[in-house]
Amino acid sequence: MAMGQVQPKLIIHGGAGSSLRSKGGVEAVRRSLHAVVEAVYPELVTGAAASTVVVQACQLLEDDPRFNSGTGSVLQSDGQIRMSASLMEGMAQRFSGVINVSRVKNPIFLAQFLQDSHDRILSDYGSIELLRELGIPSYDPLTELRLQEWIQERRGNFEHEMAGVVAEKELVADASAGRGTIGVVVLDSEGRLAAGTSTGGKGFERIGRVSDSAMPAGNYATAYAGVSCTGIGEDIIDECLAARIVVRVTDGMAIEQAFQRSFQEADQHNRDFGQSGLTTPGDRWANIGLAC
């Protein structure tokens, strides 16, 4: 590593779902996550920018049907998939994202494109328009597992408020906990931070429900810290979690304390989420999860 360069760091998560009960489940998820780290970390070492690596890692996670984002996204109450994703550039402190986009393979690519646009957050109609403009081919992210989960839930007249977001293809959903999201936070060798988050939402939700993943509550970064959240979007939004932690660190609090304090506050409100965060300089980092 050259003098003055920062040791690059990468944190990824595949959601705080309920499927990690069996050892096989944990191992399968670890293998998937590890493959992503192995694929993108060398890029970071050779000097790739934080936001580029965030997008690459998010894309790989979106393409893995194990996770609730891109391919493998959960279905909403009407049987449709609507995905949300965002990218936050820490140095420029610039947020971009798409909300409730359908028929696209990688929502994170749209978020990346919008970084340089005057209009940086698009909802469903605008996203479809953008897909057309960019000539991105239509793609169906539905998987058999997600379809079966939805059919099963429909038979029960949607007694659950959200899908149990499984990270194992072979497991049928445990509908007690739908918390899936994927997220990536990167500190590159120039000391730049970026955060990306992508999700299919809670599953079985009302048409038009908006996820935290394309809000600063769920994905936020400055030049000093970056955080990606996973969990129940409403809880994350109520705590404005990612922005709250990042602002605390930006104002001088150590990231460990910022996480701790924010979790304590969230605990008082019985919130249900987890998050990953990175801070500069590169020798300090935290990756803490919570399910309360």
Among the listed residues 199, 222, 250, 279, the single contact to ligand GLY using CB under 6 A: 199
Q: Which of 258, 204, 257, 254 is nearest to 232 (CA)?
A: 204
Instruction: Check if 181 is active-site.
Output: yes
The residue within the footprint of ligand GLY, chosen from 231, 274, 277, 282 (CB under 6 A), is 231
Could you say whether residue 213 binds ligand GLY (CB under 6 A)?
A: yes
Q: Return the number of the residue (213 or 280) whose C-beta is nearest ligand GLY.
A: 213
Which member of 46, 52, 181, 199 is catalytic? Answer: 181
Check residue 274 for interaction with ligand GLY (CB under 6 A). no
* CA atoms of 89 and 118, how far apart (whole Å): 15
Q: Considering the rule CB under 6 A, would residue 271 count as an interface residue with ligand GLY?
A: no
Please choose, out of 43-51, 209-217, 261-269, 284-292, the segment that lies near ligand GLY by the rule CB under 6 A.
209-217
- Which residue from 82, 160, 202, 244 is in contact with ligand GLY, where contact means CB under 6 A? 202
Q: Find out whether the peptide bond into 141 is cis, omega within 30 degrees of 0.
A: no
Distance CA 89, CA 117 (A): 13
Q: Quick check: 221 binds ligand GLY (CB under 6 A)?
A: no
CB 205 within 8 A of CB 212: no
The token pair at 56 is 């690459």
The answer to whether residue 70 forms part of the interface with ligand GLY (CB under 6 A) is no
Q: Confirm or reject binding of residue 168 to ligand GLY (CB under 6 A).
A: no
* Residue nearest to ligand GLY according to CB distances in the complex: 233
For the sheet containing 182-187, what is the strand order? 9-13, 182-187, 193-199, 83-89, 94-101, 121-122
CB atoms within 10 A of CB 250: 19
Nearest alpha carbon to residue 175 among 261, 74, 95: 74
233 binds ligand GLY (CB under 6 A): yes
Does 275 contact ligand GLY by CB under 6 A?
A: no
Residue 241 vs 278, nearer CB to ligand GLY? 241
- CB of residue 182 vs ligand GLY: minimum separation in angstroms? 10
Contact call for residues 241 and 216 (beta carbons, < 8 A): no
Of 18, 56, 59, 211, the one binding ligand GLY by CB under 6 A: 211
CA distance 4 to 12: 25
CB of 234 to ligand GLY, least distance (A): 7
d(CA 159, CA 142): 22
The binding site for ligand GLY (CB under 6 A) comprises 181, 199, 201-202, 211-213, 218, 230-233, 236
